[in-house]
Amino acid sequence: MSEVDACRADVWLWRARFFKTRSLAAKFIDEGRIRLTRPGQEEHRLDKPARPIKVGDQLVFALGGRLIAVTVEAMGDRRGPAPEARLLYSTLDAS
């Protein structure tokens, strides 16, 4: 795993295998369909694909009829196989 502390939002979503291409991830972000919460800050919509994502950030978005809520655990170095991609995030339980 990478030791980098931040990554472009579209790149991270692609590496974590939520989207098949970076351009699909970027389009999703441009449409304002992803909410970001940083520890100690208010929730807001991601507005640009180049916005940095950091470890500890929480993302919420609807994809394929499902609500996805995850905490960023790592940045990753590449778009690897699914088991590697799942190490980049943990799911938030709806309590």
Q: Is the pLDDT of residue 6 over 70?
A: yes
Task: Please report which helix (H) or strand (E) contains residue 57, including its range.
Answer: none
Q: Is the pLDDT of residue 3 over 50?
A: yes
Please give the pLDDT value at position 50. 96
Give me the residue spans of the domains in the chain.
6-91
C-alpha dist (Å) from residue 55 to 6, 9, 34: 7, 12, 16
Rounded CA-CA distance 13/49 in Å is: 10
Relative to beta strand 34-37, strand 44-45 is: antiparallel
Q: For 6-91, which CATH class?
A: alpha beta
40-93 confidence digits (pLDDT tens): 999 999 999 999 999 999 999 999 999 999 999 999 999 999 999 999 999 987
Q: Is the pLDDT of residue 2 over 90?
A: no
pLDDT band for 94, please (50, 70, 90 cuts).
low
Please give the pLDDT value at position 62. 95
